Structure 1
Amino acid sequence: MDMRTTTLPNMLDSGSRPLPLADGPELREALKAANLQTLLMVYVHLTHDESMLETFKVHIHPPYTNPDYVMPQDCIDDLHEKLVHVLTTPGAAKSEDPPIELMQKMMSVGVGEPVTDEFVPMVMEQGGFHRSPVRKELSERTPPPAGFKVLVIGAGLTGILAGIELERAGYEHVIIEKNEEVGGTWWKNRYPGVGVDTPSHFYSYSFEISPEWNHYHPHGADMREYFRAVADKYDVRRNIRFKTMVHSLVFDQDEAVWNVTVEDLNSGKREVIKANAVFNAFGTTDRWVLPDIKGIESFQGIITHSADYDENIDLKGKKVAVIGTGASSAQIVSTIVKEVDELVVFMRTKHWMINNPEVKAEVPEPVKWAMRHIPYYKEWFRFRVFWFAADGLYPNVVKDPSYPEDGIAVSALNEGMRQYALSHMHHKLAGRPDLIEKLTPDFPIFSKRVVMDAGWYDALVQPHTTLETAGIAEILPNGIRTNDGKVYELDIIICATGFNASSLVQDLEIKGRDGHDIAVDWADEEERAYMGTTIPGYPNYFLSTGPNIGPNHAGGLNIVSESQVHYLIECLDEMIARGARTVEVTEEAFLRHNKRIDDQMKHMIWTHPKSKSYYQNSKGRPVGPWPFRLVDMWNELQKPVLEDYKFD
């Protein structure tokens, strides 16, 4: 088994250390380095002292409204000393959690804006303050019948989660994984600079908040180790069949089971597994192909895709081309620019680049110490990170009717974000009007995925870097020829050309009841589902991150995955409690939901005439984004609307 990884000790913490803590330099340094708003939340959580909220609330603002505000030093000193007393004095901290009303008040003060009632349950879960009980221990619940089996496809972020939650709910299950280890795209992707746009302390399971992230935005090695550590802790691997590929799902109406044909990739042997329910938990970010460019097979140097990158490739002193200018390309280019002799970046499309100073910032050791040792610090820190990466960003993607339909922005807020991005670009590319002209997008910001600047602009202004926009005519044995006849001699070509997102289930054959065939039902790119999760005609079949459930304005895939896995088990529990064999969304509910999606999408940035990205199909219909808020998605996936389902 290929176990290449960067080992991070104690990736999962067993929990905050018991109080009291020792009053020493480690504690004092941690308090100096820690986030003040988070420390305030910790203090009030441990003491229930609301007076401190009153003292601090005039000094706390959302970071985007008053970023240069400096909190008075006497307030800081007072908070530190009070925290030292509570953390180091036996019996000074209360043993019980604050009441929910106080928690909500703390949340609102901590972020400097109201956290209203509708957000509280989601935040309690996503902040790691609350986790649903172990279902199989609930006496009033009908347990799954003996032999009832759920088959999960994929052991990435969602598949691992499904294994954990199905075990807690008492469901026998098997996970089919084509790779040799858990982690999905984060196991396979090893290109230079690979990382995550979503902040580390949120891009993880709400019930497993790691204190050991090395960076505020996780690197690929961090993600690999995190998922391996979670799989170890919950003994997930015992239910995984590695190096196995699913080829087809065929529903047997008489037996009410799915016949799942799988192949052992080591031996080539195929077999059929009978499953009562199927959860398709594989994503679109592990299916790649080299670009269709004339002559690509003739190149005599090294040619690779970012998703299949070999870490043993030696770039030092080489002439290297990177095809593509999206998120992966930006990470690669920023990382390799100082190592290569010549670098040519072939731009296919433009992207908006956002300045986020934290995207490469390391987490200081004193902050890690606070995460490990100070009770509730990591939970309140996660809450804060999540809050500012969530629905507060939603207005950016909603069209203001007063703005021109084909304009460069869709609202005043959207225009403000565009100006912010332009200001950063002009600052970084001062003196290079040629690059500014080549790189400035002509579409609204957020209409396609924004890219974090982790050194992209700095790399492009290097004297040995060329940004080529002429387009590739063909790949030659020794390099690339552009459409205007220029030839670049190259040793290595890295294709950062994205993934095959044209079909959410790719080549997987899925045949439901009464002749339903996903290849027919989703023909002509008409991919649709109910809540991105269920489809009429396919009983007991559930999708993860299906059509129109993507958190494309904010948040992370992890919140969608947790919500959908919860929903899967809710649906199965209801079916079993009724003594039924199948659960299936009705055609009426499916049509009503998709009309609702289409109606709302008219008001969203992804239907702007200049919006073109993998969020949409080739006809321009947005098939990826959820057009409502994250809190709406979370609330609607808490329990199925029973009238929208039929149970047989």
Structure 2
Amino acid sequence: MTDHDAKEALRDDIRWENPIHHERRIRVICIGAGASGLLFAYKLQRSFRNFSLTVYDKNPDVSGTWTENRYPGCACDIPAHSYTYTFFPNPNYTHSYSGSEEIRKYFQRFASTHGLDRYIKTEHEVQAATWDDAQGKWVVKVKDSKSGEVITDTGDFLINATGFLNNWKWPDVPGLDNFEGDLAHTAAWPEGLDLHGKRVGLIGNGSSGIQVLPAIQPEVRSLTTFIRHNTWITKPFGKDGPREYTEDEMEEFKDPNVLLGHRKEAESGMNSMFGVFLRDHPVQQEARKIMAEEMEARLDGDKALSTRLIPTWSVGCRRYTPGPGYLEALRAPNVHVVYGGVTEVLPNGCRTSTGETVELDTLICATGFDVSHRPRFPLIGRGGVNLQDAWAESPRSYMSLGAPDMPNYIMVMGPNSPAGNGPVLLAIEAQVAYALRMLDRLQTENIRSFVPKASAIEEFNEYVDAFMEKTVWKDACKSWYKNGTTDGRVTGLWPGSALHFTEAIREPRWDDWDVTYQGNRFSWLGDGYSQTETTPGADLAWYLSNEDRTEWGSRWKRREAEILPTEETEEEDKFVQGKLVDDGVRRDSAAAVAA
């Protein structure tokens, strides 16, 4: 292109007639209306204009996994007030560990409060997404579950907020389809399933199985639980375990400062645990000793159960679960523990690996989800690369957010997100904030596409693999952190704490991204005017002040301004003063893990 042609092309750019950082119209597509998708929709409308957004969700209502999971005993396995957005508390939680129904209502209230329904299309399942390089857009095929019609949508930016606990799976056991009784999966619990007086089998002793067993044990005639793996069963986090809040406490929680103090206490406990995940850390050794003694005590000297249940591997290798009532229920007269897996499902029961045949009326599969992070639908990016194929063996993301050859694409809770490193909604907020920073540049500069560099992906995963060698997650236990394997790569967790993660992704590393432009990369400079000069009524000397109010210039100073109390925060923090440990930079505590 000649100099003359370049100048003509620049003058034809619409930005030439607009001030710097002119906001072009952008079309955004989000997949999933659970905790991640709802937050993204709220944050987008809060900070952006001149956009259109559609959030597609396969379920009939919002809240994702909390809409799907409704089995007896289903609850969050962390303190209720650590399972809220940081800015949207929930004074309506009635229990210290809330059940799925209360959590579902929380997310529904969040969506209603902020008018998010106008963006959301429920019962619409994404079938495929393809990057059209000629247009610089995503072409998305979506099936309307009610009508069966498949529609086509296009967008400048695609965010995958489907999460990692949404694609449940049946166990790979021969004869499952031949079972003539009631067959149920914990993630697709049948409405009206009657277990009263039934002979029930339960496959799986992960988080769902640990919750459902004590919930159904009192009503069934007999309950046979098939246990293949030992696991750490902890006391619930928090000083007084799972319980219903009193009327006085519920009344106190109406005071925002009182509730904030309670939330900070719970959240600080969650953020004090990271040392337990480091193999040689003193907190790991102490926690292991405390938890083994606690399990033995709750099993009341039952050596057979203790031997089978208490792991030889480290605390935290597999997600440990607060299991109120679980160990006690295993010793109930109507509970039969079978050590070993189910080798065959028969029309009227199961055959075990020991050759035992167990007759059953109902079979419950608490066998979890596909946590491979492979997309459930063809996701075809630059050069025809299908991410399903690229991640067939192991998912390798960029900082849990980006994927190879997927332009203008961000994941929330992708591979190596901090799914078990601390408060999970804190991590989701950090990822959504990152996505919006990318989207802001896409809208206000003439960027056509951005995609993580192959070298950045490779080196990030090299770091992850090296870091994981010193964690308990690499111990020889079967875990969904390693995609259901014993010795595979750790792809379900971040290489650090949850707070470490929020600092790591606060500022995009633009040098890790391949950025392409539409036309001259500087055409966003526009017509020479600032946005301030074109805003009616704006203060054209807004930068003058009697004191320095500018942003701190270093990371440490910005961090210090956030984490150290000021006079303004002392009043709201007084409720929790004296309760939080403040004896050093690292606040690891075995008591926080095991008590």
TM-score bracket for this pair, using the shorter chain length: 0.7 to 0.9
**After superposition, where does 1:69-88 map in structure 2 within 5 Å?**
none
- The residue aligned with 2:341 is 471
- The residue aligned with 1:635 is 503
- The residue aligned with 2:388 is 519
Q: Whole-Å Cα distance in 1 between the matches of residues 257 and 441 of structure 2? A: 35
SS of equivalent residue, structure 2 residue 82: coil
- The residue aligned with 1:365 is 247
**After superposition, where does 1:20-59 map in structure 2 within 5 Å?**
none
Q: Read off the aligned partner of 2:192 and give its amino acid letter.
A: N
Q: Whole-Å Cα distance in 2 between the matches of residues 585 and 626 of structure 1? A: 18
Q: Whole-Å Cα distance in 2 between the matches of residues 554 and 455 of structure 1? A: 24
Quickly say closer, same or farther: Cα 1:143–1:285, change in 2 above 3 A: farther
- The residue aligned with 1:413 is 283
Q: Whole-Å Cα distance in 1 between the matches of residues 196 and 141 of structure 2? A: 45
- The residue aligned with 1:436 is 306
Q: Read off the aligned partner of 2:491 and give its amino acid letter.
A: V
Deviation sequence 1:355-414 (CA, Å, 0-9, x none): 127553111121111111x34122222122111111x211111133xxxxxxxxxx4321
Quickly say closer, same or farther: Cα 1:358–1:197, change in 2 above 3 A: farther
Displacement, 1:599? 2.2
Quickly say closer, same or farther: Cα 1:500–1:141, change in 2 above 3 A: farther
Runs of 5+ consecutive residues of structure 2 not aligned to the other structure: 1-18, 517-595
- The residue aligned with 1:647 is 515
Q: Read off the aligned partner of 2:320 and give its amino acid letter.
A: V
Quickly say closer, same or farther: Cα 1:291–1:565, change in 2 above 3 A: same
- The residue aligned with 2:454 is 587
In the alignment, is residue 570 of structure 1 matched against residue 437 of structure 2?
A: yes
- Alignment counterpart, residue 44 of structure 2, candidates 157, 160, 166: 166
Q: Whole-Å Cα distance in 2 between the matches of residues 534 and 470 of structure 1? A: 40
Q: Whole-Å Cα distance in 2 between the matches of residues 277 and 613 of structure 1? A: 33
The answer to whether the 8 Å contact 2:228/2:340 transfers is no
Q: Whole-Å Cα distance in 2 between the matches of residues 168 and 393 of structure 1? A: 33
In the alignment, is residue 384 of structure 1 matched against residue 268 of structure 2?
A: no
- Alignment counterpart, residue 242 of structure 1, candidates 112, 122, 128: 122
Q: Whole-Å Cα distance in 1 between the matches of residues 508 and 61 of structure 2? A: 33
Displacement, 1:593? 2.0
- The residue aligned with 1:616 is 482
Deviates more, 1:233-242 or 1:473-482: 473-482
SS of equivalent residue, structure 2 residue 273: helix
- Alignment counterpart, residue 486 of structure 1, candidates 346, 356, 369: 356
SS of equivalent residue, structure 2 residue 481: coil
In the comparison of the two structures, how many residue pairs are matched?
Answer: 493
- The residue aligned with 1:462 is 332
Displacement, 1:337? 1.1
- The residue aligned with 1:597 is 464
Quickly say closer, same or farther: Cα 1:358–1:493, change in 2 above 3 A: farther
Quickly say closer, same or farther: Cα 1:358–1:218, change in 2 above 3 A: farther
SS of equivalent residue, structure 1 residue 520: helix
**After superposition, where does 1:294-309 map in structure 2 within 5 Å?**
294-309=174-189
SS of equivalent residue, structure 1 residue 524: coil
Q: Whole-Å Cα distance in 1 between the matches of residues 341 and 212 of structure 2? A: 20
Deviation sequence 1:432-468 (CA, Å, 0-9, x none): 2221122121211101100112100110111111111
The answer to whether the 8 Å contact 1:190/1:311 transfers is no
- The residue aligned with 1:69 is none
Displacement, 1:143? 6.1
Displacement, 1:313? 1.0
The answer to whether the 8 Å contact 2:418/2:501 transfers is no
Quickly say closer, same or farther: Cα 1:589–1:490, change in 2 above 3 A: same
SS of equivalent residue, structure 1 residue 422: helix
SS of equivalent residue, structure 1 residue 150: strand
Quickly say closer, same or farther: Cα 1:551–1:482, change in 2 above 3 A: closer
SS of equivalent residue, structure 1 residue 621: coil
The answer to whether the 8 Å contact 1:572/1:583 transfers is no
Deviation sequence 1:71-118 (CA, Å, 0-9, x none): xxxxxxxxxxxxxxxxxxxxxxxxxxxxxxxxxxxxxxxxxxxxxxxx
Quickly say closer, same or farther: Cα 1:344–1:642, change in 2 above 3 A: same
SS of equivalent residue, structure 2 residue 143: strand
Q: Whole-Å Cα distance in 2 between the matches of residues 447 and 643 of structure 1? A: 34
The answer to whether the 8 Å contact 1:281/1:543 transfers is yes
Deviates more, 1:571-580 or 1:240-249: 571-580
The answer to whether the 8 Å contact 1:156/1:282 transfers is yes
The answer to whether the 8 Å contact 2:465/2:489 transfers is no
Q: Whole-Å Cα distance in 2 between the matches of residues 431 and 584 of structure 1? A: 57
Quickly say closer, same or farther: Cα 1:375–1:437, change in 2 above 3 A: closer
SS of equivalent residue, structure 1 residue 420: helix
Deviation sequence 1:329-355 (CA, Å, 0-9, x none): 111111111111111111121110101
The answer to whether the 8 Å contact 2:418/2:497 transfers is no
Runs of 4+ with >3 A deviation: 140-144
Q: Whole-Å Cα distance in 2 between the matches of residues 189 and 470 of structure 1? A: 26
- Alignment counterpart, residue 73 of structure 2, candidates 184, 193, 212: 193
Q: Read off the aligned partner of 1:204 and give its amino acid letter.
A: T
Q: Whole-Å Cα distance in 1 between the matches of residues 130 and 76 of structure 2? A: 36
Displacement, 1:489? 1.8
Q: Read off the aligned partner of 1:259 and give its amino acid letter.
A: V
The answer to whether the 8 Å contact 1:533/1:542 transfers is yes
- The residue aligned with 2:379 is 510
Q: Whole-Å Cα distance in 1 between the matches of residues 59 and 135 of structure 2? A: 31
Displacement, 1:276? 0.4
- The residue aligned with 1:528 is 396
Q: Whole-Å Cα distance in 2 between the matches of residues 625 and 425 of structure 1? A: 26
Quickly say closer, same or farther: Cα 1:541–1:288, change in 2 above 3 A: same
TM-score, normalised on structure 1?
Answer: 0.74
- The residue aligned with 1:344 is 224
Displacement, 1:141? 9.0
Identity of counterpart residues, as a percentage? 29
Deviates more, 1:475-484 or 1:564-573: 475-484
Q: Whole-Å Cα distance in 1 between the matches of residues 88 and 314 of structure 2? A: 37
For the aligned residue pairs, the C-alpha RMSD in angstroms reads 1.8
- Alignment counterpart, residue 283 of structure 1, candidates 163, 169, 176: 163
- Alignment counterpart, residue 145 of structure 1, candidates 24, 32, 43: 24
The answer to whether the 8 Å contact 2:136/2:449 transfers is yes
- The residue aligned with 1:314 is 194
In the alignment, is residue 550 of structure 1 matched against residue 418 of structure 2?
A: yes
Displacement, 1:194? 0.1
Q: Whole-Å Cα distance in 1 between the matches of residues 385 and 256 of structure 2? A: 53
Q: Whole-Å Cα distance in 1 between the matches of residues 138 and 71 of structure 2? A: 37
Q: Whole-Å Cα distance in 1 between the matches of residues 116 and 45 of structure 2? A: 9
Q: Whole-Å Cα distance in 2 between the matches of residues 559 and 244 of structure 1? A: 28
Quickly say closer, same or farther: Cα 1:141–1:204, change in 2 above 3 A: farther
Quickly say closer, same or farther: Cα 1:490–1:611, change in 2 above 3 A: closer
- The residue aligned with 1:131 is none
Quickly say closer, same or farther: Cα 1:159–1:496, change in 2 above 3 A: same
In the alignment, is residue 222 of structure 1 matched against residue 222 of structure 2?
A: no
Quickly say closer, same or farther: Cα 1:484–1:601, change in 2 above 3 A: closer
Q: Whole-Å Cα distance in 2 between the matches of residues 457 and 182 of structure 1? A: 34
Displacement, 1:592? 2.5
The answer to whether the 8 Å contact 1:197/1:359 transfers is no
Quickly say closer, same or farther: Cα 1:646–1:484, change in 2 above 3 A: closer
The answer to whether the 8 Å contact 2:21/2:445 transfers is no
Deviation sequence 1:256-282 (CA, Å, 0-9, x none): 100011111111111210010000000
In the alignment, is residue 607 of structure 1 matched against residue 477 of structure 2?
A: no
Quickly say closer, same or farther: Cα 1:346–1:611, change in 2 above 3 A: closer
